Amino acid sequence: MAATAKRLYLGNPSTTLTTVYTVPVNTTTIVKSIVICNTSATDTTASIVISTAGIVYNMPIKGKDTVIIDMSLVMYANDTIQVQQGIANNLNITISGVEVA
């Protein structure tokens, strides 16, 4: 089995809960970190759902603040990551992990 470090998502999410990553068939993914950066001076919120479990729900993110969530969460084939921000164009989210196939 090969383990490959991977950026699972990098972007400015929608204001509706949107799937940004799906674990490939015959693969296990381990989510290692989530970085949420508010590039605006305006406070907003972030929501992240992994495999139907809310990781953060409407978490307040202050203007110009960065939140780092370290974890070791195992996902299986066809599990998904969904993200959402409260105000358009305020957040950049990076999700990193390891794919094992």
On whether residue 4 sits in a domain, the answer given is no
Q: Structure pTM? A: 0.95
Structural domain boundaries enclosing 56: 13-95
In the chain, the number of structural domains is: 1
String of DSSP letters for 20-79:
EEEPPTT-EEEEEEEEEEE-SSS-EEEEEEETTEEEEEEEEE-TT-EEEEEEEEEE-TT-
On whether residue 26 sits in a domain, the answer given is yes
On whether residue 3 sits in a domain, the answer given is no
Per-residue tens of pLDDT for the chain, all 101 residues: 799 999 999 999 999 999 999 999 999 999 999 999 999 999 999 999 999 999 999 999 999 999 999 999 999 999 999 999 999 999 999 999 999 99
User: What is the pLDDT at residue 1?
Assistant: 78
User: What is the pLDDT at residue 55?
Assistant: 94
On whether residue 23 sits in a domain, the answer given is yes
The CATH number of whichever domain residue 39 belongs to comes to 2.60.290
